[in-house]
Amino acid sequence: MLGQILRQRYKILRQLGEGGFGKTFLAEDLDMPVNPKPKCVVKQLHPQMLDPAMVRRFEKEGEILYRLGQQNPQIPDVYAYFQENGEFYLIQEFIEGHNLEEEIGTGKRWTEAQTRTFLQEVLEILAFVHKNQVIHRDIKPSNIMRRDRDGKLVLIDFGIVKEIVQGGADPERTSGQTLAIGTPGYMPAEQSTGQPRFSSDIYALGMTAIHALTGVSPDRLQTDERGEVIWQHLASVSPGFAAILSKMTAYYFGDRYANAPEALQALTTTSPPTPAAAPVNPPSVVAATVAVGGHSPAAPRSPAGGSGSIPDPNSSSRWPVIAGVAIAGIAALALLIGLLPPLFRRASTPSERREVSSQPSASPSQNAPRASDSPSSTSSGSDRVPASSTPSGSNRAPANPTDSGSDRAPASPSDSGSDRVPANPTSSGSDRVPASSPPLPVPPSPRPPVPPSPRPQTQGVPAFPLDTARRDVEATLGQPTRDLRGAYGNTRAVVYNGVRDGVDLGYLFDRNSGRIRQTEASFRQSVNLPTAQQTLNDLLDGQAPDAVRQGLDRVYRRQLDNYRYQVGGAKVQIVRQDCGDIYVSIWDERLHDFVEFQQVRQC
């Protein structure tokens, strides 16, 4: 496009960037009677489907951006918006300056005062945006410019026009298959499932502020079991400011400030710290963690209760897809047939039947002893920032001692389960002189060092991705609980019950190559979300997209019963079954289509 002139006015000079929605160019306005010609930004957007309704919507959203730019000097002006040759074009003011990626990053840590100033300025812009009923949808350092001529911040790259381009790709998509607008790490859970709110912008701005304070990108931070970001140990800020940031970045949107005016009011009514203000102490108890945005936040609230773990109603593990057939008419194996969904029980034929591997007939898995739970790390070889760099040395009891089978540690020592920074933090290892001591300047005697407590870890589940050889699986897991003829193609179906407490695994192997074509996991309600998220990531060879992680999260929190997603050459389906168990299946897209929910929901 270089050298091309749009509308006989805007001459393309060079390309500035390219993304999933289109390209951005630097251009000059030939109509202006000055030299050199003023610069402008041309955004070329690629709708995959073009119809009159979409054109009208694009024009409407362009008008909204035009109005915002006209009324606020810290939002780029819109000069023109039009459709030409099947493409949408948005012509905007060129901001001379740099984006905040140059100021925020590894080795660059802002002070609380700098971060407060930044937040107040952006919240003032965002308050204007929200009052006009617009959600930005993609707040992050690269979308905040610092203008050269006055040093002011400018909010760029609104997501409302991108939504039109996205909507044209699949207008009939379901909520479980939404392609979200936003950036992992800065994007909250509800936005990743296509349901942004004003508070979604508050979350993204809060994560940007935490990035500035800590020098750590959000996708490398850890979260606790409720999905709350653990960051306070990486920055020295006042308790009041820490509480504001924690509320801005709360996992559940109902716990955040509802919009920018509300967040701005909280910020301006909280006094900055005096020079003598004590830094925020790191939490003494480290929570089990998962990565953000990447995120795989945990459930802070479920309809069944407020804990991050749903009680186990003593249900047995179920297998809805992988075992396609079972022996009929034999009482000892009738129990196994109950583990299969109706579709695959009906699909069984005499030619497909085969006896189960020759181990003694047993009662269902709930009566069988489980393998012992030796904890293992949630992420091998990960470069994620640890949740805390200090040993806890705490002798306090866990916040939830009745949570049987869990290896999780509480997010904080308080009974409320909140990870908010206390208003008056105290140190268990304080060297202050007790009140009963005589008022003499006696130096405190040194305390013996407290040995570090082991870091709580998520249960490790030895899951295997597609294309893994059967011999590698058996080298780790041993002989399967069941070995049957698979329901799809030339496959063998194997099941491993009780790999970890509440976790069963299953695989469909190609009978010729001996490699996995479908990989599955079944989680009882007692399994915590970090364990399920880590297993899902392992089943996808360590490359689970953020949308899939969020899909599991929504099913875990009972917001969805059936989630579907296609990534590369694989299909993913996550189901909440009638008994409450969560069933995850990933398979080669050539093997079969998505399974109807009614056929997999039964336990």
CATH number of the domain encompassing residue 47: 3.30.200.20
Q: Write out pLDDT tens, residues 500-546.
A: 888 999 999 999 999 999 999 999 988 999 899 999 999 999 889 98
Q: Are residues 88 and 127 in the same domain?
A: no
What is the domain range of residue 61? 5-93
Q: Is residue 596 included in any domain, yes or no?
A: yes
Q: Are residues 72 and 133 in the same domain?
A: no
Question: Which one of 237, 268, 291 terminates a domain?
Answer: 291
Q: Which residues of the chain have pLDDT under 70?
A: 20, 48, 106, 163-180, 273-459
Q: Is residue 302 included in any domain, yes or no?
A: no
pLDDT at 582: 95
Q: Which residue has the tokens 């859970």?
A: 189
Q: Is residue 122 included in any domain, yes or no?
A: yes
Q: Give the closest residue to 159 by CA, choosing from 255, 48, 20.
A: 20
Note whether 79 and 62 are within 8 A (CB). no
Widest pairwise Cα distance in the chain: 91
Q: Is residue 422 included in any domain, yes or no?
A: no
Q: Is residue 189 included in any domain, yes or no?
A: yes
Give dist(CA 410, CA 221) in Å, integer. 18
pLDDT at 275: 54
pLDDT at 599: 78
Q: Is residue 192 included in any domain, yes or no?
A: yes
pLDDT at 106: 66
Q: Are residues 497 and 537 in the same domain?
A: yes
Q: Are residues 81 and 171 in the same domain?
A: no
Q: Write out pLDDT tens, residues 439-490.
A: 444 444 444 444 443 333 345 788 899 999 999 999 899 999 988 888 787 8
What is the SS3 assignment for 90? strand
Q: Are residues 485 and 514 in the same domain?
A: yes
pLDDT at 199: 97
Q: Taking the CA atoms of 293, 296, 298 and 303 in sequence, report the sign of the dihedral they define.
A: positive
The structural domain count of the chain equals: 3
Q: Is residue 236 included in any domain, yes or no?
A: yes
Give dist(CA 155, CA 70) in Å, integer. 14
The backbone region for 170, taken as left when phi is positive above 0, alpha when psi lies in -120 to 50, beta otherwise, is beta
Catalytic residues: 138
- Distances in Å between the Cα of 220 and the Cα atoms of 232, 300, 512 are 14, 20, 41
pLDDT at 134: 94
Query: Which residues, including other chains, have CB under 8 Å from residue 160's CB and lie 6 or more apart?
Result: 61, 64, 65, 134, 135, 137
